[in-house]
Amino acid sequence: MSHNSYGHLYRVTTWGESHGPAIGCVIDGCPPGIRLDAADIQAALDFRKPGTSKFVTQRREPDTVEILSGVFEDDRTKGQVTTGTPISLLIRNVDQRSKDYADIRDKYRPGHADFTYDAKYGLRDYRGGGRSSARETAARVAAGAVAEKVLAHVAGAVIIRACLVQVGKVTIDRARFDWAETARNPFFCPDPVAAEAFEAAIEKARKAGSSLGAVIEVVAAGVPAGFGAPVYGKLDADLAAAFMSINAVKGVEIGAGMRAAELSGEENADEIRIRKKRPHFLSNNAGGILGGISTGQEIVARFAVKPTSSILTPRRTITAGGEETEITTRGRHDPCVGIRAVPVGAAMMAAVLADHALRHRAQIGDKKAMKSAR
């Protein structure tokens, strides 16, 4: 057991506080011989990096990653490759501005973990939220970049994509869903019309000193049938934990999700035909997972992120000493923290799938694993 680790065979341990000297992670269990450069991980971090639009926090972190172990290169390897030993990644914190947070030392910010950390530990690193800061997600994204390479190595071409399908009460129109659109707006929105509505809503919230929640959808295509295991090692159970562990997440769905409750038995159970000599499902209410095991269809998951708790509107709260007071959270905050959760969601999907790819290979073996792909 480890409070700050996830995965069983592709195992990631993250560490670090928002305003400590650095954050990072250790990845254990990576197969050997996989090409891995800091640049691969850096690209993923740059994609996630805050400060790239006015819709996300203005904290300016270069997020430069250093690989401290687990890779090797000489004239016989084709570039730098993993060795099978732990990969330690280090990201120094730079733009910390600790003074911004001095006034929240004694007050519990509603919606934040301030009160619960104090209740549990009797003290807390209040600078920028300490360990509870979304800054920790940089380590997730770094580990996800490595996981994608592991997945390609073990399970072949798996494509993981994520997007924003809802901001506040604005949802996308599925008829306009286009993955290519996610690169054309600062919201990772697959619907260009919704993207404009997202912008308007977020701008309005930002100006009002408020904030908005969001729903992120993560889709993995090309996952072989057979990943996952009954009964507590279910692929969807591990995905649910992975997404719920992301800051501010309050709900997780697979396939039809909460709406599955409204379907009839006939609507829900995805029928199967043969197409091109292979099983073909006529719908995907299951989200690519039946009985905790992948079907070979797209794995489809969604999670809801609550609105940023740090808002300019004054809120009633108490002090650590038990006095009633009010608080206004200044500092650099995202009006919609859900935007930044998009690459984090993709990273968690990659990590869970890499773990299950290795678990599947352990129990079933290589050839069978790959043969079961569909």
d(CA 270, CA 253): 17
**Binding-site member from 28, 37, 46, 100 for its own copies (CB under 8 A):** 28
In angstroms, what is the minimal distance from the CB of 256 to its own copies? Answer: 6
- Per DSSP bridges, beta strands 249-254 and 214-221 are unpaired
Count of residues in contact with its own copies, rule CB under 8 A = 166
DSSP H or E segment with residue 318: strand 315-318
Whole-angstrom Cα distance, residue 236 to residue 209?
Answer: 37
Which part of the chain contacts its own copies (CB under 8 A), choosing from 27-35, 44-52, 54-62, 185-193?
Answer: 27-35
CA distance 295 to 284: 10
Residue from 136, 181, 199, 217 touching its own copies (CB under 8 A): that is 136
CA 55 – CA 240 distance, rounded (Å): 27
144 forms part of the interface with its own copies (CB under 8 A): no
The closest alpha carbon to 216, from 172, 258, 175, belongs to 172
Q: How far is the CB of 350 from its own copies (least distance, A)?
A: 15
**By the rule CB under 8 A, 64 interacts with its own copies:** no
| Sole binder of its own copies in the list 103, 173, 323, 330 (CB under 8 A) | 323
Q: By CB under 8 A, tell whether 239 contacts its own copies.
A: yes
Q: Which candidate, 189, 136, 153, places its Cα nearest to that of 353?
A: 153
Cα–Cα distance, 47 to 342 (Å, whole number): 10
**Least distance in angstroms from the C-beta of 164 to its own copies:** 10
Identity of the residue numbered 79: G
Among 48, 124, 135, 340, binds its own copies (CB under 8 A): 124
In whole angstroms, the minimum distance from the beta carbon of 51 to its own copies comes to 21
Q: Residue 255 is encoded by which pair of tokens?
A: 């396939």
Return left, alpha or beta for 226; rule: phi > 0 is left, psi -120 to 50 is alpha, else beta.
Answer: left
**Residue 310 Cβ, how far from its own copies at the closest point, in Å?**
8
Under the binding rule (CB under 8 A), the answer on residue 149 touching its own copies is no
User: At closest approach, how far in Å is the CB of 309 from its own copies?
Assistant: 5
- Residue 38 found at the interface with its own copies (CB under 8 A): no
Q: Assess 322 for contact with its own copies (CB under 8 A).
A: yes
Residue 96 interacts with its own copies (CB under 8 A): yes or no: no
If the CB atoms of residues 50 and 70 are measured against its own copies, the closer one turns out to be 70
Q: Which of 79, 174, 231, 276 binds its own copies (CB under 8 A)?
A: 231
Contacts of 304 (CB under 8 A, 6+ apart): 166, 213, 214, 215, 249, 250, 251, 252
Say if residue 106 is exposed, middle or buried (CB neighbours under 10 Å; 0-12, 13-18, 19+): middle
Residue 64's identity, in one-letter code, is T
For its own copies, which is the closer residue by CB, 193 or 244? Answer: 244
DSSP 293: E
Q: Which of residues 168-227 bind its own copies (CB under 8 A)?
A: 168-169, 205, 210-215, 225-227
Q: Which of residues 65-84 bind its own copies (CB under 8 A)?
A: 66, 68-70, 72, 74, 76-77, 81, 83-84
Footprint of its own copies on 243-282 (CB under 8 A):
243-245, 247, 249-274, 277, 279, 282
Q: Which of 152, 292, 328, 332 binds its own copies (CB under 8 A)?
A: 292
Selection from 117, 144, 147, 146 nearest residue 133 by Cα: 117
Q: Of 328-357, which residues contact its own copies (CB under 8 A)?
A: 338
